[in-house]
Amino acid sequence: MRKTSARLIMLLALLGMVLSGCRAAATPAAVPTPTPAAIPMATGRLLLATTTSTRDSGLLTFILPDFEKQYNIKVDVVAVGSGQAMKIGQDGNAEVLLVHSPAAEATFMTDGHGIRREDVMYNDFVIVGPTADPAGIKGMQNAVKVFAIIAEHQAKFVSRGDESGTHVKEKDVWKAAGIEPTGAWYISAGQGMGAVLTMANEQLAYTLSDRATYLARKAEGLQLEILSEGDAILFNPYGVIQVNPAKNPQIKGDLAKSFMDWIISVPVQEKIGTFGLDKWGALLFFPDSAPYHAAQSATQAN
């Protein structure tokens, strides 16, 4: 009898342990993931995420006051790399993007983050460096060969390293050269174009820059020289994108559409086509919108 009672007690204890274990392993009730709060987008203001090149070159200061006056609003500008600008748009924290990274822009649109994209303008990239030119690239046009020579000499090169359109273009050239740049000579700054030009200037290094920002900084005393230019691989197109209003209920879709219509319009395109002439004697950006090209074709036909 005692043995039977002992066995019963042991079985009950084991059963309790099993049941306890089952309760501990049970999956807790799912907790709903909170929806991220939308950032404030004030009435009468438009949030534009764009590149440091449009800011550092002075282009935005040149054209945006006209839009602000015409629509009686203020444009708030966030100037970062193209990749960061598109991430801001993807998160619904901008209403319009002005960027220069065609492949990433196409993905952005395919993934439904934007509802409209238009060509706006283009300029080009140049390879700049110290007057001493330690790698001996001055006058060479082939950008791939130039990068290969810089790597061979392990001459200092400052990269933006920020997934901007400029950084993406730089990586394309290294890839075409069959080179993975590493070592003390290759400096990844993680900075905008203006800051990278300053670093390259201070360290007597080479870098890849959009022509507009380079000329703007050159006018401020930058000592770097254009050592290689003109290769077709260095072409640099810009596009404007309207962010999908579904990303954020505060996005002002009508105002964003108005901005896109405005920046690709013929008068604004013609103004973009004069930027830089008075100060540098050369254009910094070339108009490239569909309405502009249509107007040019009509003029030529007449």
Q: What fold does the segment set 124-234 form as a domain?
A: D-Maltodextrin-Binding Protein; domain 2 (3.40.190)
- Higher pLDDT, residue 25 or 296: 296
The C-alpha angle with vertex 49 and arms to 112 and 216, in degrees rounded to 5, equals: 135
CA distance 164 to 79: 11
Structure tokens, 223? 């000592």
* Domain at 45-123+236-301, CATH class: alpha beta
pLDDT, tens digit, for every residue of 173-198? 999 999 999 999 999 999 999 999 99
In the chain, CATH 3.40.190.10 covers 45-123+236-301, 124-234
Pairing of strands 96-99, 235-243: antiparallel
The pLDDT of residue 84 is 94
pLDDT, tens digit, for every residue of 140-166? 999 999 999 999 999 999 999 999 989
Give the alpha-carbon dihedral of 220, 123, 140, 197, to 10 degrees: 30
Is residue 159 within 8 A of residue 189, CB to CB? The reply is yes
7 — pLDDT class (breaks 50, 70, 90): very low
CA distance 230 to 109: 30
> Is the pTM here over 0.85, yes or no?
no
295 phi and psi, to 5 degrees? -65, -40
CA distance 232 to 196: 23
Residue 235 has pLDDT above 50, yes or no: yes
Largest CA distance in the chain: 116
pLDDT, tens digit, for every residue of 20-57? 433 333 333 333 333 333 356 778 899 999 998 899 88
Mean of the per-residue pLDDT values for the chain? 87
